[in-house]
Copies of this chain bind each other. A is one copy, B any other.
C-alpha cells in the first residue's frame, strides 16, 4: 500500500512543483506537507487557497486509495474547502481521512494546518467524494 501510494505521488508533477512531501500513510489516513514559499502565495503574501486545496485534496485522495483494491486508482469527483484562517507560517500540513469507504464512492475529509514556529493553526477544512477507477 505504501509503495503504491508513494509511486503514484511521485508521478504527480504538481506535487513536485509545490515541494510537497508525503509524511504518513496509514489505513484511511494520509499526511502531506509543503513549504509556504513566495511562489505559492496570494496577493497578501499568505498561502494561496489553491495550495491548501492541493494538499488537502491529495491527502484525502490517497487516504481513499488505502481503501481501494490494488488494481484501482482514484480520482476526485468533487470537494469543498472552507478557509478558516490565513495560511501564515513556514509550512502547511494536510491530514486526509476517510469518512465512509465504498465500492463506488469514498467520502473523505481533510484538515489543513499552517505551522509557524512550532504552533499549528487550522487553516482549512475539506469534505469531498473520491471515485475508485480501474487501472
Contacts and interface: CB of A to CB of B under 8 A. Distances in A.
Interface of A: 8-9, 11-14, 16-17, 37-45, 48-51, 53-54, 57-58, 73, 75-85, 99-100, 104-105, 107, 109, 122, 125, 127-129, 131
Across chains A and B, which 8 residue pairs bring their CB atoms closest together, nearest first? A50-B54, A80-B80, A14-B48, A13-B41, A11-B43, A84-B100, A78-B82, A17-B39
Contact of A13 (B48, B80, B85): B48
Nearest to A125: B99
24 contacts: A9-B43, A11-B42, A11-B45, A12-B42, A12-B48, A13-B38, A14-B40, A14-B50, A48-B54, A50-B50, A50-B53, A53-B57, A77-B82, A78-B107, A78-B129, A79-B80, A79-B81, A80-B127, A84-B100, A84-B107, A99-B125, A104-B104, A104-B131, A129-B129
